[in-house]
Amino acid sequence: MSHRWDPALYAQYAGQRERPYFDLVSRVAAEAPRTVVDLGCGSGVLTATLRSRWPDAEVVGVDSSPEMVAEADRSTGVAYEVADLRAWRPETPVDVVVSNAALQWVPGHLELLDTLVGHLAPGGWLAFQVPGNFGEPSHTLRHELQADPRFADHLTDVRGPAAHDATTYLHRLQGLGCTVDAWETTYLHVLEGDDAVFRWVSGTSLRPTLQALPEPLRTEFAEELRRSLRAAYPAGPHGTVMPFRRVFVVARAATPGPTPTSRIA
């Protein structure tokens, strides 16, 4: 089932959402790439920073959401296109591919890594991060409520985000001949405002569920989830603390070595 993105809703808590992007890209040691692609670029706010880092590169942002791409600022010199990441095919090999918090929405993205590595130039870089917090209440409480008979019949076709652990990605990319740096980080986001965790998930993982429910079930579901999340993530004097584990991977494609010379005795 398809679902729509709301750029304004996603932009709430932008500072906390952006930090993993910079933590990821800082580990890409490409010096003078010719082509840089951001897969799942959203509204392009962070994609523009790639242009600042590599000003001589051709930078392209790709996203499946027309609503997000419509928000992108073309004045930065970045080109944008609407495309399904599974169908994306560059015209020439790419030096750097970045994907920030996008692959978890792509079914079968572990197999997609084979294709993405195949699009890299020799010595090219693939860097991505995905959430690793699917066992946290921000997800499990939603799943429990989705199974309730009041809502379940409307949600059978809803596909939520999913990802693997760092070791799985490490082994997959090593098997493709890449040099791989994989790690995990748990951020402690301190969120301000009422129903902070509900508002966070409303911009991401909760969207497909709410969009699939008709009224008045949508409102009923949202209110019950709000109450459960308030209990799981109680607000403190300095805000609501939401632990968020993320998985990071930076892989570099192999560089062909010199062609061996034969010896004639």
Sign of CA dihedral 61, 77, 17, 124: positive
β-partners of residue 158 are none
Question: DSSP code of 78?
Answer: -
Confidence band, pLDDT 50/70/90 cuts, at residue 1 = very low
Confidence band, pLDDT 50/70/90 cuts, at residue 263 = very low
User: What average pLDDT does range 247-263 have in this prediction?
Assistant: 76
Residue 4 has a pLDDT of: 58
Q: Looking at the predicted structure, is the pLDDT value of residue 264 above 60?
A: no
User: What average pLDDT does range 12-17 have in this prediction?
Assistant: 70
Q: Looking at the predicted structure, is the pLDDT value of residue 258 above 60?
A: no
Pairwise CA distance, residues 40 & 14, whole Å: 16
User: What average pLDDT does range 36-49 have in this prediction?
Assistant: 95
Three-state DSSP class for residue 64: coil
Encode pLDDT of 43-80 as tens digits: 999 999 999 999 999 999 999 999 989 999 988 999 99
Which runs of E-coded beta strand occur in the chain? 35-39, 58-63, 79-82, 94-100, 120-131, 179-191, 240-252
Encode pLDDT of 194-252 as tens digits: 999 999 999 888 999 999 999 999 999 999 999 999 999 999 999 999 999 999 999 99
CA atoms within 13 A on the CB side of 188: 4
Structure tokens at 161: 């985000």
User: What average pLDDT does range 136-149 have in this prediction?
Assistant: 97
Confidence band, pLDDT 50/70/90 cuts, at residue 262 = very low
End-to-end CA, the chain? 67
Q: Which domains, ranges and CATH numbers included, belong to the chain?
A: 7-134+161-190+238-252 (3.40.50.150)
Long-range Cβ contacts of 117-121 (<8 Å, 24+ apart): 117/173, 117/176, 117/177, 117/178, 117/251, 117/253, 119/89, 119/90, 119/93, 119/94, 120/93, 120/94, 120/95, 120/253, 121/35, 121/93, 121/94, 121/95, 121/253
Q: What is the mean pLDDT of the chain?
A: 92
Neighbours of 32 (CB within 10 A): 8
* Closest of 94, 91, 88 to residue 121, by C-alpha: 94
Encode pLDDT of 87-108 as tens digits: 999 999 999 999 999 999 999 9
Pairwise CA distance, residues 18 & 46, whole Å: 8
β-partners of residue 62 are 39, 81
Residue 265 has a pLDDT of: 38
Confidence band, pLDDT 50/70/90 cuts, at residue 11 = low
Rg (CA), the chain: 20
Residue 204 has a pLDDT of: 86
Pairwise CA distance, residues 202 & 132, whole Å: 18
